[in-house]
Chains A and B, each alone.
Chain A
Amino acid sequence: MKSSVIVFPGSNCDRDIAVALEKMKFKNQMVWHKETTLPKSDLIVLPGGFSYGDYLRSGAIAGKSLIIDEVIKAASSGCLVLGICNGFQILTETGLLKGTLLRNKNLKFINKDTHIKVINNKTKFSSKYKKNQILKINIAHNEGNYFTNSKHLEELNKEGLIAFKYCDEKGNVNNQSNPNGSLESIAGILNSKKNILGMMPHPERMIDEIISNTDGVNLFSSLIN
């Protein structure tokens, strides 16, 4: 499997995701945002960070960078695209994913390990997880409060496009276990073709027992098959 990680000025999880991909035997390339061609890739990753210092809106400027046209083309021809944290914000700004990410409800930057539940495990990103499996994954964001219109929310629920929801350690999804005020506790969503996943939690930080846990590994191993 070949992967490309797009690097923007202000990306800061690009090397973490590269380490995770290489550990899972992806042949990975880093691609600078000013490039106008993408290497042949099975997976494109938009990493976490603060592209362009979150100026205007998180992900807004990165969403207009030169390489994004190529990402949109690749995505529409079925290439897998994963956006993590700022990458998720960029995906919503490009229109590849619907909805948007608002400021956290408590107005605080949240950096903590939180629990999420696998809502749909029948996707290329999550097939190695069990349905309703509870994962402990780090979140680190200021704008992670997912919002969309009621029509799209209905579509997300009907079509199984909600990938992950925030929950507590027992799997309860409620206001107490929702860290940022996200609509229906949504932590990650897919597009209608299910080849694009955007998520606020950082699976690339959960690939090694030495520094955290290995709850993120199966996301990458799902992609390999």
Chain B
Amino acid sequence: MKFSVTVTLKKDVLDPQGKVVENTLVNMGMNNLKSIRQGKYFQIDVDEDDQLTAEKKIDEMCKKLLVNSIIEDYKITKN
């Protein structure tokens, strides 16, 4: 079963990389750009038929390694 996990910086955490990308796009003439926040994306395939069990496992992966909950939020999506 395949899932996507999107990891983003929390709202209050400064994202200097996102800011540089944003400024560059504005300099390139993308004037209607409001803001950019940069994040991470994981594609995960688990050997599991039950969606709920699989999601629980992915959630555990996020909490234990993939995400630093002090600064990051995450969203799990079934593909």
Contacts and interface: CB of A to CB of B under 8 A. Distances in A.
Contacts of B65: 56, 60, 64
Interface string B30-55: 00000000000000000000000000
B16 interface: yes
B13 A107 contact: no
A105 B16 CA distance: 6
Interface of A is mostly: loop
Contacts, number: 31
Interface residues of B, number: 11
A99 interface: yes
B70 A107 contact: no
23 contacts: A56-B66, A57-B68, A60-B65, A64-B65, A98-B70, A100-B70, A100-B71, A102-B13, A102-B71, A103-B16, A103-B17, A104-B16, A105-B14, A105-B16, A106-B16, A107-B16, A107-B17, A107-B20, A147-B13, A147-B71, A148-B70, A149-B70, A181-B14
B74 to A, nearest CB: 13
B21 to A, nearest CB: 11
Contacts of A149: 70
A160 B28 CA distance: 48
Contacts of A106: 16
Nearest to A149: B70
Interface in A104-139: 104-107
A100 B20 contact: no
A99 B68 CA distance: 10
Q: Which interface class (under 10, 10 to 19, 20 to 34, 35 or more) fits A? A: 10 to 19
A106 B64 CA distance: 29
Nearest to B70: A100
A147 B16 contact: no
Given A56-B65, A102-B71, 18 more contacts: A57-B68, A60-B65, A60-B68, A64-B64, A93-B68, A98-B70, A100-B68, A100-B70, A100-B71, A102-B13, A102-B14, A104-B16, A105-B14, A106-B16, A107-B16, A107-B17, A148-B70, A149-B70
Interface in A34-80: 56-57, 60, 64
Interface string A138-167: 000000000111000000000000000000
A103 B71 CA distance: 12
Nearest to A150: B12
A95 B66 CA distance: 15
Given A56-B65, A60-B65, A99 B14 contact: no
A90 to B, nearest CB: 13
